[in-house]
Structure 1
Amino acid sequence: MGILQPLRRLSDSVNQVAIVICVGCVLTMLGISFTAFIYKLVTGSTLSWTYSLARLFLPWIGFLSMTISLRYGEHVAMTLLVRSLPRVMVYVAAGLCLAVIGLFALMLTWYGWNYFSTATQVYLVSAQISIPSKFTAIVVPISGVMMLLHLVHGFALLEHFIDEQDAIGELIDTTDGERRS
């Protein structure tokens, strides 16, 4: 158990960085779109590169959001079905679920690295702006590694192991603690 705690802290730190990157990508996309809007209002013509440049951030948002939702147990789960099973079967189902998530993460990492390393295309956003496809391809293996790292949390990743009353109590305690500060 000595190695699990540092790995869990690393997982949480990586998750916080992913959240910041996702917010940055969304804000960048909004900034690009807002720039295009203002330019259209002022000049009456459009900037051809804004849509192409803004959509390059979508893979980053999508893949990193997937890892963030996994960390918080917000992925697709059949909680009602699982909770109706006997307790032993809940653990079997949870183990299978974690194994499938792990296999998916390994495949993302393995095939994603191959995808990244062979990506040679260049996105021509405009005559002056060209972006290598490696910019968007690298997020695939990164998200696979992040998902593998999040697996150190084990059953805590699965929604059907969360006691609603404890979660509500935790939220109330957190909110009360913030008011007192």
Structure 2
Amino acid sequence: MSVLHSLRRLSDQINQVAIVLCVGCILSMLGISFTAFLYKLVTGSTLSWTYSLARLFLPWIGFLSMTISLRYGEHVAMTLLVRSLPKILVKAAAVMCLAIMGLFALMLTWYGWGYFTNATQVYMVSDQIRIPSKVTAIVVPISGLIMLLHLVHGFALLEHFISGHEVIDELLETTEGETRS
């Protein structure tokens, strides 16, 4: 088994873990919010800590879902513009896109690590619940590392750049045929 194949398998496995973590964070947020709703419904008063605690899951959801969408090629792209270019420019755009994503992932990792190590505040969710800001700050460099790992998939992350000219041509022909009728 080649090193590249092993890294791709590791990328897929880490992506599955990220999916489970995102779902867990969303379910936790919903559980906390539902608890607050039921408590308010039953007692008439509110729990002061529910909003603050649920909000701490948002960075994890945002950053991990960014890595998941990258793995499945669901990132922002100018597909129609790129597909209208000659094939050599499409490949050049794909390489440039991968390089920019790699640079972004490196910056997330580098600056995110500094952000994590300098995070010294404590979130006061309630009098009893105190959560260090490192808990939310660590997701920044982790997501950068995951994105770097996903880059081992190369052009597979950018399938819409390389293939699909026929789909656009078919759509254009269908639209032209409908306007003529």
Gaps of 5+ in 1: 167-181
Q: 2:68 maps to which residue?
A: 68
Gaps of 5+ in 2: 168-181
Instruction: Report the alpha carbon displacement of residue 160 of structure 1 after superposing the two structures with TM.
Output: 2.0
Q: Do structure 1's residue 58 and structure 2's residue 58 form an aligned pair?
A: yes
Q: 2:138 maps to which residue?
A: 138
The change in CA–CA distance for 1:165 and 1:84 in structure 2 (over 3 A counts) is closer
Instruction: Report the alpha carbon displacement of residue 161 of structure 1 after superposing the two structures with TM.
Output: 2.8
Letter matched to residue 124 of structure 1 = M
RMSD of aligned alpha carbons: 1.6
Q: 1:128 maps to which residue?
A: 128
8 Å CA contact 2:83, 2:165 repeated in 1: no
Give the secondary-structure state (helix, strand or coil) at the position aligned to 2:26: helix
Q: Aligned residues: percent identity?
A: 78
Counterpart Cα distance in 2 of 1:46 and 1:4: 53
The change in CA–CA distance for 1:114 and 1:68 in structure 2 (over 3 A counts) is same
Instruction: Report the alpha carbon displacement of residue 3 of structure 1 after superposing the two structures with TM.
Output: 1.2
Q: Do structure 1's residue 150 and structure 2's residue 150 form an aligned pair?
A: yes
Instruction: Report the alpha carbon displacement of residue 34 of structure 1 after superposing the two structures with TM.
Output: 0.4
| Cα displacement string for residues 82-122 of structure 1 (whole angstroms, at most 9, x for unaligned residues) | 11111111110000000000000000000000000111000
Letter matched to residue 18 of structure 1 = A
Counterpart Cα distance in 2 of 1:165 and 1:14: 33
* TM-score, scaled relative to structure 2: 0.89
- Largest Rg, 1 or 2: 2
Counterpart Cα distance in 1 of 2:72 and 2:29: 25
Q: 1:92 maps to which residue?
A: 92
* TM-score, scaled relative to structure 1: 0.89
Q: 1:160 maps to which residue?
A: 161
Q: Runs ≥4 in structure 1, deviation > 3 angstroms? A: 162-166
